[in-house]
A and B are shown apart, each in its own frame.
Chain A
Amino acid sequence: MARVIVDVMLKPEILDPQGQAIARALPRLGFSGVSSVRQGKRFEIELEGAADEAALAEVRKMAETLLANTVIEDYSVRVEG
């Protein structure tokens, strides 16, 4: 058993109005010193077996196919633990 994390973020050049709204809300709540916020998605994928190279290749394929829209999003894959 292994857990693999896939993080999906809008590409830097794509406007993130949700992140901007969060960044604007923070000072109102008394949090200072934040210059910007980008919002993304985190997927926790539990594998039946070990997170070997073949399994990670499969997870990257999942990310390319479904989890991220690579037209507008970047993704990264890492093993947790």
Chain B
Amino acid sequence: MSAARVGVVTFPGTLDDQDAARAVRLVGAQAVPLWHADRDLKGVDAVFLPGGFSYGDYLRCGAISRFAPLMEEIVPAAKAGLPVIGTCNGFQILCEAHLLPGALTRNASLHYVCRDQRLRVEQTATAWTNTFAAGQEIVLPVKHGEGRYVADADTLAALEAGDHVVVRYLGGNPNGSLNDIAGIRNEAGNVVGLMPHPEHAVEELVGAPSTDGLGFFTSILKNLVNA
């Protein structure tokens, strides 16, 4: 059986693509570099949208990236079931592209926050969190200036009622997000966005606060192997 192929997208200004690709390889999958200006998903089985400052965060975080040629391929593929995860700037792009509801706005404190963050995995019925235990507490790095999740009251109620909140902040909310939301999923569970960085927490050697991030990568591998 050939290895599962996970596409890692690079926009101008993306920072975390190399860490994401490394994490994909660590769990035994193949990392396939995808370039924002191409219209080719190269037949990947899943897509990782990494963090950074794509297009310099001009206009709004993710607002320009959303219209990249590659996104025109990713959006319909995601709607058709392709597993897609966005972390940090990737989450912002998924919201701007309306693959996930709501938006990410300036941290309530106005400070850029960079710290190890406790989280609770609320939802394991997704392509990206199925190897966690429901309610499992994990620690991942967060590093962002615009991570405050907001949505209107109806959307928020629907997210909670439908169990679409995937991860929630514990031990202090770093950005003032509504309902302490750190990450959400779409209805089908194939699209997940979160502000924390699983790809930075996969190896103890580099001083990561945990290796809890590996769970997101083992989840997608399990999802693809069983598919």
Give me the interface of A with B, judged by CB distance under 8 Å. 10, 13-15, 17-18, 21, 66-67, 69, 71-72
Task: Let me know if B82 is at the binding interface, CB within 8 A.
Answer: no
CB <8 Å contact, A66 and B151: no
C-alpha spacing A15/B106, complex, angstroms: 9
B26 is an interface residue with CB less than 8 A from chain A: no
Chain B residues with Cβ below 8 Å from A14 are 105, 150
Give every chain B residue within 8 A of A72 (Cβ-Cβ): 103, 105, 150
Which residues of chain B are within 8 angstroms of A71 by Cβ–Cβ distance? 95, 101-103, 151-152
**Which of B6-14, B59-67, B217-225 is near enough to bind chain A?**
B59-67
Complex interface bits, B91-132 against A, C-beta within 8 A gives 1, otherwise 0: 000011000011101111110000000000000000000000
Would you list 25 pairs from A and B whose C-beta atoms are within 8 A, ordered by A residue? A10-B105, A14-B105, A14-B150, A15-B108, A15-B148, A17-B106, A17-B107, A17-B108, A17-B109, A17-B110, A18-B106, A18-B110, A21-B110, A66-B59, A66-B63, A66-B67, A67-B59, A69-B103, A71-B101, A71-B102, A71-B103, A71-B152, A72-B103, A72-B105, A72-B150
Closest to B95 in A: A71
In the complex, the number of residue pairs spanning A and B with C-beta atoms less than 8 Å apart equals 35
Q: A14-B105, A14-B150, A15-B176 are in contact. Are A69 and B110 (CB under 8 A)?
A: no
Within the complex, what minimum Cβ distance (angstroms) separates A71 from chain B? 5
CB-CB < 8 A to A10: which residues of B?
Answer: 105
Nearest CB of B to A14, in Å: 6
Contact B109 A69 (CB under 8 A): no
CB distance from A7 to the nearest CB of B (A): 15
Check A69 against B106 for contact (C-beta < 8 Å).
Answer: no
Q: How far is the CA of A13 from the CA of B152 in the complex (A)?
A: 9
**Min C-beta distance of A41 to chain B, whole Å:** 8
Q: Which A residues touch B108, using CB under 8 A?
A: 15, 17
Please, which residues of chain A bring their CB within 8 A of the CB of B109?
17
Extra A-B contacts (12), CB below 8 Å, given A14-B150, A66-B67: A10-B105, A13-B152, A14-B105, A15-B105, A17-B107, A17-B109, A17-B110, A18-B106, A66-B59, A69-B96, A71-B101, A72-B103
